Structure 1
């Protein structure tokens, strides 16, 4: 029987690879679950695409501001325990764009898909706070359009982000996948950068596909991490 608590204790460097399931306990819907953020869309890839932003920026702004911002969400026990572990000996590579890992105290976080709360003008680069963005996406000074610093469908991951993520995975002797089905690439491809003898485990409500020899911990992640 695999003991995650013991594995964490034994590890020299722990890297957590996290997805939407880490933030559902904070009240942020899973992007693709029934009733989740994309439930009313025929094609979520369209709403959050670079093409939609470029061609229909008002519709993009309306959808993002109404459906993706949860400023009252607070870090939960998963964020807090991951912060404690990785601040001592590890890192977090997350698909989440909600910033809750950092708000939970984590110092070593690679935001693979960016952060909703970083907003900048596409024309001049000026940054504004998200409260201002919620009101309007137009930059009066230069006519530019503000956008959140997240990776949209049709956009590449920034090379420095990929490098940081690869480094975090390659350094780890314990890799723990939490709250993600691990189907989205290039994120899922990060496992190919792991040490050949690294221990791989996953915590998820239902089993997910993992390489041979990996350990699956099926259960609620809040319960699992509360016990670490």
Structure 2
């Protein structure tokens, strides 16, 4: 524990001196807000039916009713609230230290905590669009829909969440922006991610800055690349940086 405390103190000092920090986060950032992780021992991939299959573009097209039954029950956590990790990142942005949050999460908790520059690699449950006319629908409109498959009031088209499903590509503009932030960062903090999801994890290969900090509860394949590795809860650690 003493070594971890020393590492946290060193990282805190680096953060205090820097004005060019980028944060890259995964599901572990949201688990402390009681949102389940796909790949943890109690995550969604342990469900009876494959979440990967249900959350695929082809399944959505063929079985929208079954998709929405799973999606509303398992993927939307409307009552979740930001945890210390989200709040710390928002404060670092307000202090002019954090340039951007790059997240694999779709829950919108970073914005709810007050972060303004958030790149959502996999989209957001808070944005939904008609597949025919692209009319926008909020998360409340989806949750309050009495139909098994929410449909557009304008054209009766099926509404699709603005999340990247399996078999779909990530948004190229968001990828380019994320690459730019990472490549120019002085400090890169990676937290709450197994770094096994590509192409998202591959973005870290573009980092060439001075201080690579990795915070996760379990080892990752990128640990040997990091200058500082901390095995602990992301919120617990991040709250000690300010």
- 2:69 maps to 1:62: yes
Q: Which residue of 2 aligns with 1:186?
A: 199
Taking only aligned residues, the RMSD between alpha carbons, in angstroms, comes to 1.5
- Once superposed, which parts of structure 1, at least 4 consecutive aligned residues long, lie more than 4 Å away? none
Structure 1 length as normaliser, TM-score? 0.94
Cα drift, residue 10 of structure 1? 2.5
Distance 1:41 1:32, change over 3 A: farther
Q: Distance in 2 between matches of 1:26 and 1:37?
A: 16
Q: Mapping of 1:57-206 within 5 angstroms?
A: 57-87=64-94, 88-89=96-97, 90-134=99-143, 135=145, 136=147, 137-195=150-208, 197-206=209-218
Cα drift, residue 34 of structure 1? 1.9
What SS does structure 2 have at the residue aligned with 1:160?
helix
Q: Deviations over 1:117-167 (max 9, x none)?
A: 101101000011222212232224323110110100000111111111111
Cα drift, residue 213 of structure 1? 4.8
Q: Distance in 2 between matches of 1:77 and 1:193?
A: 28
Whether the aligned pair in 2 keeps the contact of 1:86 and 1:92 (CA below 8 Å) is no
Aligned residues: 227
Whether the aligned pair in 2 keeps the contact of 1:117 and 1:130 (CA below 8 Å) is yes
Q: Which residue of 2 aligns with 1:38?
A: 45
Q: Which residue of 1 aligns with 2:219?
A: 207
Q: Distance in 2 between matches of 1:30 and 1:18?
A: 13
What SS does structure 1 have at the residue aligned with 2:119?
strand
Q: Distance in 1 between matches of 2:219 and 2:228?
A: 10
Whether the aligned pair in 1 keeps the contact of 2:133 and 2:157 (CA below 8 Å) is yes
Q: Deviations over 1:46-81 (max 9, x none)?
A: 111000111111111111011111111111110010
What SS does structure 2 have at the residue aligned with 1:22?
helix
Q: Distance in 2 between matches of 1:209 and 1:176?
A: 15
Structure 2 length as normaliser, TM-score? 0.89
Q: Distance in 2 between matches of 1:23 and 1:142?
A: 35
